[in-house]
Structure 1
Amino acid sequence: MAENAAAPSRSAAARLIKDGKVRLNGQTAHASDRVARGDIVEFIVPEAHPARATAEALPLRLVYQDADLVVVDKPAGMVVHPAPGHHSGTLVNALLGLGGSWSAAGGEERPGIVHRLDKGTSGLIVAARNDTAHRALAAQLSDRTLSRTYIAIVRGVIKTRAGELEGPIGRDPRERKRMAVVKGGRFARTRYEVVERKRAYTLVRCDLDTGRTHQIRVHLSAFGHPVAGDPDYGGRPRGVRREQASPGTTPQGGSPPSDQDEPSRPMLHAWRLRLQHPRTGKEMSFEAPPPADFDDFWSSLE
Structure 2
Amino acid sequence: MSGVPAPGVLYEDASFLVVDKPAGLPVIPLRHDPGALTVRRLLEQVRAERLFVCHRLDVGTSGCLLLARNEAAHRAASTAFAARRVEKTYLAVCEAARADAPSAGRVDRPIGPGRRGAMRLDSRGRPATTRYRVLRREGSLAWIEARPVSGRRHQVRLHLRAAGWPLAYDPRYGGQDPRFARLTLHAWHLALPEFGIEAL
Q: TM-score scaled to structure 2, two decimals?
A: 0.89
Give the structure with higher Rg (CA). 1
Superposition deviation, residue 194 in structure 1: 1.1
Secondary structure of 2:64's match? strand
Amino acid at match of 1:209: V
Single out whichever of 70-79 and 83-92 deviates more from structure 2: 83-92
How many residues align structurally?
195
Match of 1:95, SS state, is: helix
Q: Secondary structure at the match of 2:172?
A: coil
Alpha-carbon distance in structure 2 between the residues aligned to 1:66 and 1:57: 26
1:132 to 58, 72, 78: 72
Aligned to 2:181: 264
SS at match of 1:261: coil
Q: Work out which of the residue numbers 87, 96, 114 in structure 1 matches 2:44.
A: 96
CA distance in 2, matches of 1:90, 1:285: 23
Contact 1:123 1:270 in 2 (8 A): yes
C-alpha displacement of 1:119: 0.7
| Matching of residues 59-138 of structure 1 within 5 Å | 59=5, 60-83=7-30, 84-97=32-45, 98-102=47-51, 112-138=52-78
Structure 1 counterpart SS, 2:53:
coil
More displaced stretch, 63-72 vs 206-215: 63-72
What SS does structure 2 have at the residue aligned with 1:76? coil
SS in structure 2 opposite 1:232? coil
Ranges in structure 1 where 5+ consecutive residues have no aligned partner: 1-54, 103-111, 236-258, 288-302
Q: Report matched runs for 1:155-170 at 5 Å.
A: 155-156=95-96, 160-170=102-112
Unmatched segments (≥5 aa) in structure 2: none
Which protein has greater RCO, CA pairs closer than 8 Å, 6+ apart? 2
Higher strand share: 2
Once the 2 structures are TM-superposed, how far is the Cα of residue 91 of structure 1 from its aligned partner?
Answer: 0.2
The residue that corresponds to 1:197 in the other structure is 137
- Residue 197 of structure 2, aligned match among 280, 284, 299: 284
8 Å CA contact retained: 2:101, 2:164: no
Q: Compare 76-85 and 207-216 and name the one that shifted more.
A: 76-85
% identical equivalent positions: 37
RMSD: 1.9
Aligned to 1:153: 93
Distance 1:133 1:57 in 2: 29
- Cα contact 1:57–1:94 (8 A) shared by 2: no
TM score, norm. by length of structure 1: 0.60
Are the structure 2 counterparts of residues 159 and 179 from structure 1 closer, same or farther at C-alpha, using a change threshold of 3 Å? closer
Partner letter of residue 132 of structure 2?
A: Y
Cα deviation, 1:77-131, whole Å, max 9, x if unaligned, reads 11111223252321011121111233xxxxxxxxx11100011100000100111
> In 2, are the aligned partners of 1:58 and 1:89 still within 8 Å (CA)?
no
Q: What is the CA distance between 1:58 and its match in structure 2?
A: 3.8
